[in-house]
Chains A and B, each alone.
Chain A
Amino acid sequence: MPKVYNWQIGREMDYPFEGRRPHRQAAAVFDTNKCIACQTCTMACKTTWTSGKGQEYMFWNNVETKPWGSYPLAWDVRVLEMLGPQAWEGNVYRGRTLFEAAPGGERAVGYLPEDLDYAYPNRGEDETNVPITEERFYLRLPHDAWFFYLPRICNHCTYPACLASCPRTAIYKRPEDGIVLLDQQRCRGYRECVKNCPFKKVFYNHTTRVSEKCVLCFPAVERGIQPRCMRNCIGKIRTFGFVSTPDRARADNPVDFLVHVRKVALPLLPQLGLEANVYYIPPVHVGNVRFLQMLFGPGVEPAVAAYRRAMEGKDDELLGVLLLAVSTDRIVHRFQVRRGQAYGYDERGEEVVRVPLQEPTMVRPAYDPQHRAYRHNVT
């Protein structure tokens, strides 16, 4: 099997195909600290792509509550259990990836979900890690009792397990932007991709009897516009753009800045070996760091520290990038923070958005003599 380099696990690994990176890789950063699980992203995607017959159960985008939520049921713990022990030595993963742990005759470790596994997309919603029954849980940071929201889409992996598993190469990774697509003409419905995608983001269409997956709204991306789930994000948690490998990281590229420069954004389950391209800013309030390390790898503690610094007003640049998220429909290729404003530029270098780091505020006296009335703060 060919060897490829996966920077997220700091080493070479086995992959069924030769490693050839796309010219650029579409990527996103989701700030879990800002997600309120309103599911607007879920519905934006659902109404755009999966409202047809046979797609009823599909959520190419879903938001689940961690630690208990999952869609399909227990997708993460099942895959992690199949993978076995996952040891890190610093930033180098010493355990086996999905491909390295593949049983004989298979391309990767995986399982095919049952219908009922898809039946409870919001299972575990807002459930804390432990029952809140005692007073000791109040007023302490990070929290002993916690939960957080994990919005999920296809990770458009650099080394996709779905692509590796398709015996017909009906799944391909576009060289121009790294988006992973499933050819609706070539698929013969074997569901090897459904079985081996650990994130369970390939779905079998009950009516057309072939499989489908997130397309990252490629028609929009091709025109410099962000995908629907990103554009519609109410909490403005999503930064969309293109990620470089660490050696080519550009400090003025928003995604590179978050992933490689400040290192606040971490890959999801890097130990699987897919080099997933949706990155997460870990929640800062979660008391169980080991749980976060299981989900996001060894970079959790420095990421939390860097994020807290920005929230304390000590890192205008990081604050500026985060404020640019979902402030424009356009894809921001370059950013700059100067004189209290964050600027976003498109691919041609034209300014597409400008956001103040601090909202202008006006303080008015409580009593208005002109109207002879007291003002109340009404929202």
Chain B
Amino acid sequence: MAAQKITRRQALAGLAALGTAALPAVAQAQPSQQPDVRAVRVPSPLPAEPEAAVWARVPPAEIALIGQAMVLPTKMRPSVRSVRVRSCHDGERVAFLLEWDDPRADRRTVKTREFKDGCGVMLLPQGAGATEWMMGTPKMPVTVLHWRADWQLDLDQGFQDVEAAFPNLAFDFYPPLVGAQHPPKLPEAYPREARRWLPGWYAGNPLSQPRKTSPVEKLVAQGAGTLEQLPTQNATGKGVWKDGRWRVVLSKPLRAADAREITLTPGGTYAVAFAVWQGIAGDRGARKSITLLGRLRVEP
């Protein structure tokens, strides 16, 4: 019955995609329902850019995206039809290249109704099933790599603050920064004590840190709603939007740095799923397009 549902959804997504002309040849092929991704061994260093030549040597897997119907709030129809995935490793780190069609890049998350584009890779031990697919369980945590277009923009163009979205903003002064350069720039203009006026930052929320080091978060979850950043943020990546398509690299060391994080061993097989968020569709959190849980084989 579940398979039937997916087929119907696929048909709807397919109808929507008819309007999109000139799809690349591979995307026109029927995407596979389940991920079966091979992390190919390549010489160091791993490609950090989506345009790196080495990616051409890595076989792609086109994977169907479906709606998220298990956890409230749901997203019944995927925003995007499929995601193309490549993976490689060099014995030290593993990298993924995710590509999907998105007619508009949504990068900023400053305004109340602005949601970002993004993508995610969820890694689990082999043997994970339908329950673990939903963001893991207390017994089987999942490791998540999450690339965020808003952090990419912060890195590419500097921290996007209020004046980025509201260029005509006028404000007399921000306490306690009397006499500070206007508008005060984050983080330079804000000594520790002044951050009290920026509660998320002061409280140490990773989302509120104006200084970014990577556009990719490394997270752990043990069930829906339990997602949290791992202490060691050593995931890297880069996303580039060009000609209506996002190409995003996400990478992490094979070996776990933190408790509950997954270690990938060359020669091993793991469970994997992917997700795509489309900002213009209001995607965030559980409102996302996802793949089924599939297989990741890490070449010896």
Contacts and interface: CB of A to CB of B under 8 A. Distances in A.
A51 B174 contact: yes
Interface in A5-63: 16, 51-56
Interface stretch (B97-105, B199-207, B253-261): B199-207
A207 B162 contact: yes
B: interface residue count bin:
35 or more
A206 B76 contact: no
B109 A209 contact: yes
A53 B113 contact: no
B2 interface: no
A36 to B, nearest CB: 25
Contacts of B184: 53
A313 interface: no
A191 interface: yes
A112 B115 CA distance: 12
Given A105-B72, A184-B205, A192-B285, A168 B227 contact: yes
Nearest to A204: B112
Contacts of B75: 105
A: interface residue count bin:
35 or more
Given A53-B161, A184-B205, A206 B110 contact: yes
B169 A56 contact: yes
Most buried by B among A54, A106, A114, A203: A54
Contacts of B175: 51-52
A209 B200 contact: yes
A185 B203 contact: yes
Interface string B172-184: 0011000000011
Interface in A288-308: none
Interface in B110-168: 110-113, 150, 161-162, 165-166
B199 A208 contact: yes
Interface in A157-189: 165, 167-169, 184-189
B73 interface: yes
A107 B73 contact: yes
B73 A184 contact: no
B208 interface: yes
A106 B205 contact: no
Nearest to A212: B199
Given A53-B197, A168-B226, A190-B285, 9 more contacts: A106-B72, A184-B202, A184-B205, A191-B112, A191-B284, A206-B162, A207-B161, A208-B200, A210-B208
Given A107-B73, A167-B71, A205 B199 contact: yes
B72 A209 contact: no
B200 A167 contact: no
A189 B227 contact: no
